[in-house]
Amino acid sequence: MYSENSQEMSEIDHESGPGLHQSLFKKESNLDKYRRMVIGDQGWLKVLYFEFVILFFSLIPGALGLVCRKLFYRPLFNQVGKNVIFGRNLTLRHPHKISIGDNVIFDDECLLDAKGESNSGIRIGDYVTIGRFTSLVCKNGDIEIGPHVNIGSTVKIIVADKGKITFGSNIDVGSNCHFSGGSYDYSNSERLPSTQRLTTEGIIVDEFAWIGAGVIVLDGVHIGRKSIIGAGAVVTQDIPAKSIASGVPAEVKRER
């Protein structure tokens, strides 16, 4: 019985296993897999420079580390503005598809993942702060963050195939929020939902919005201008401009 189940699972895993497994276990060399996952379609000189920079400068503490990363990280990205601060131990994926404006702050232990075959990647405006342990993840989608946006610690912003998550200007995002730019088809119980992704609608947060701590925002949501989302809310539908919403699911309580 065990061997029959094992054989059946191995057949299922090959066709419908998690997307990361499908990518990692393609028939190509480990070096090619690494380059594709981390650097993208870049030459080996880019790979060597990436390895050199991460190895020698990623973990240097204090002012010395900030200065070294400011100097040596710049060539990794598509564009880097003035006075950008890179914290310790940033995880970077496809950094050549990441554009950064002026006076941007990345705290320690952030993840910037612009991975994808046909996406534009991540674009960050001026005077943006990205809190510690925060992740910006593109799965062949795009993330655009306008100027004067403050994103707290441990925030997850994840967008799936051909979708886009857009933040306007002058927005505050509390810690532990999750923006889920992607949906799954779970009608076939014989396959993992993560292998049956639906078309991504994207997420839009308009200017001067305030997203409280621990908020979850699902795919397809548009949060209007100057709206406030209370802590711990789960936003499943559009929130009109100048609204105060809270609850699970989030409902408009009153106008601002």
- Per-residue confidence (pLDDT) for residue 157, from 0 to 100: 98
Average pLDDT, integer, range 237-251: 97
Look up tokens 């890179």; give the residue.
Answer: 86
pLDDT interval class at 40 (50, 70, 90): confident
Which tokens go with 215?
A: 């908020």
Residue 24 has pLDDT above 70, yes or no: no
Are 130 and 157 spatial neighbours (Cβ–Cβ below 8 Å)?
no
Q: Which one is predicted more confidently, 145 or 160?
A: 145
Which range among 53-67, 144-158, 176-190 shows the weakest confidence by mean pLDDT? 176-190
pLDDT interval class at 187 (50, 70, 90): confident
Average pLDDT of every residue of the chain: 89
* Secondary structure tally for the chain: helices H, strands E: 5, 23
CA angle 156, 201, 198 (to 5 degrees): 90
d(C-alpha 253, C-alpha 227), whole Å: 11
Average pLDDT, integer, range 79-105: 97
DSSP assignments along 192-221, one per residue: -GGGSBPPP--EEE-TT-EE-TT-EEETT-
Please tell me whether residue 103 adopts helix, strand or coil conformation: coil
Which tokens go with 53?
A: 């920079």
Which domains are delineated in the chain? Answer: 2-255 (2.160.10.10)
What beta strand segments (E) does 73-114 contain?
A: 79-80, 85-86, 91-93, 98-100, 105-106, 111-113
Average pLDDT, integer, range 65-85: 97
Residue 21 has pLDDT above 70, yes or no: no
Residue 2 has pLDDT above 80, yes or no: no
The 8-class DSSP code of residue 184 comes to B
- Per-residue confidence (pLDDT) for residue 8, from 0 to 100: 43
Residue 1 has pLDDT above 60, yes or no: no
CA angle 6, 14, 36 (to 5 degrees): 135
Residue 10 has pLDDT above 50, yes or no: no
Strand partners, 254: 244
d(C-alpha 226, C-alpha 232), whole Å: 18
d(C-alpha 158, C-alpha 173), whole Å: 15
- Per-residue confidence (pLDDT) for residue 190, from 0 to 100: 76
